[in-house]
Every structure is written in C-alpha cells, then in structure tokens.
Amino acid sequence: MINDALTALQEGKFILLYDFDDRERETDFAIRADAVTPRHIMQMRKDGGGLICTAIHPFAAQHLGLPFARDVLASTNVAEKEGEIPYDRKNHSSFSLWVNHKSTFTGITDRDRAHTVNEIAEQVRKSLNGGGANFATQFRTPGHMAILRAADRLLDQRRGQTELSVALAEMAKITPAITICEMLDDDSGYALSKADAQDYARKHGLVFIEGQEVIEQWKSHHY
C-alpha cells in the first residue's frame, strides 16, 4: 500500500494519511503542494473540514527563514510551553507562519489558497536546489495558509502528520511540500474515525495508509 501512496503523490492525487492510535488518531487529506488546484482546496474544506496547512521540509524552512511560531511568540503569555501538547509531550507543535501570496486578494478563497500553496512549493523547490528563493518578497503575514515546519530529523525526531507527509514526499522524490487537512466528523464534532476515513477512501478511490507503514518504509530504506 505504501508504494501505491507514493505513486499517488507523484501523480498529484490525494492520499488519506492516518497517524497512530496512540497519537492524534486523525486522518488527513495529503497532496503534493505543487499540484494543488482550487478544486482540491474545495474538497478539503468540504469533505475534510479541518485546518488546511502546508508542511515543508526543515532545510527549506531554514533557507527561507521560516521560524517556528512558538519562537516568534515566546515573549507573549500565551506562547506554547514545553510539554503542553497532550498528544505529544516530548515535542512542540510544527506551526510556522500563516501567509498569503502577495498576488492574492483576500487570501481565503479556493483560488487564492491554491495559488499560495503552489507558490510555497515553488519557494521550497528553489531553496533546496540552489535557486534564488526570496520568501519575503513573495508573501505577507498574517495570512490564510498555515505553514508547518517539519522537525529537523523528520521521523527520527517527531512522528506527527507534518513529518509523515514530508517523509512521504522525500520517499516519492517530489518537492517536499505537502498540503494536508484533517478529516472531521459532522455528527460527533470530533475527528473522523479511522473506519469512516477508510470507507471514504474506498468510495472515492483513494489510497489510505497509516503512520506505521510510513515509519517501516522509512526505516527499511535508511532515509
């Protein structure tokens, strides 16, 4: 199934990515950011309902000067403290900046968000290939697309949806910028159950994989 997921990502298709029973217990839509269209944004907000974010490789974040939000907000009383995340006490959250591309209008429409996502991916691609990426000239913050900065050692350090998706991008040999969105349950108000997410995958012809499959592939290939 992992190879099917990698192929789907390479082809610019959605996959459904479940993390772990002992972590968030959430399934995310995941798609390569450079392939996102307005229709993908629409599907995520309607069928997912969670926060639409774009996870990027830590080296790209460093090159682009994108900090962790907690570091930017360290001087405030509400900044995240060590060990405060109930599902991941050993790590801090991966949130970086929230941005709009400067060519967008409000930044929230499907078209605006898709364009911002595509341009984030382009900046990541350039930054990792020796190009002259200049994030500050292209984006403004605050905006409507949350950037997630993966942990420096990826799955060897943290095993969140951010690291799982960026690791998949590395294994698929695509630009390591993946747009993700949690799937929520309209009835319970909680995360969509794994069984219901698997049912959605079957109905829509999508690959469903679990975090443990990603970990095993990562370890077996010594990434």
Residue 155 DSSP label:
G
89 pLDDT band, cuts 50/70/90, is: low
- pLDDT reported for residue 118: 98
Going by C-beta distance under 8 Å and a sequence separation of 6 or more, which residues neighbour residue 78? none
Q: What is the pTM of this model?
A: 0.95
Backbone phi, psi, residue 14, to 5°: -65, 145
How deeply is 75 buried, as exposed, middle or buried, from its count of CB atoms within 10 A (0-12, 13-18, 19+)?
Answer: exposed
Q: Cis peptide before 142, with omega less than 30 degrees from 0? A: yes
For the chain, give the percent of residues with pLDDT over 70.
97
Contact criterion met (CB below 8 Å) for 136 and 102: no
CATH fold of the domain at 2-220: DHBP synthase (3.90.870)
The tokens of 94 are what? 């991966």
For the chain, give the percent of residues with pLDDT over 90.
82
Task: Please list the active-site residues.
Answer: 28, 53, 87, 100, 144, 182
Strand ranges (DSSP E) for the chain? 15-18, 27-32, 49-56, 95-101, 139-149, 177-183, 207-210
Render pLDDT for 117-176 as a digit per residue (tens, 0 to 9). 999 999 999 999 987 668 999 999 999 999 999 999 998 899 999 999 999 999 999 999
pLDDT at 67 over 90: yes
In the chain, where are the structural domains located? 2-220
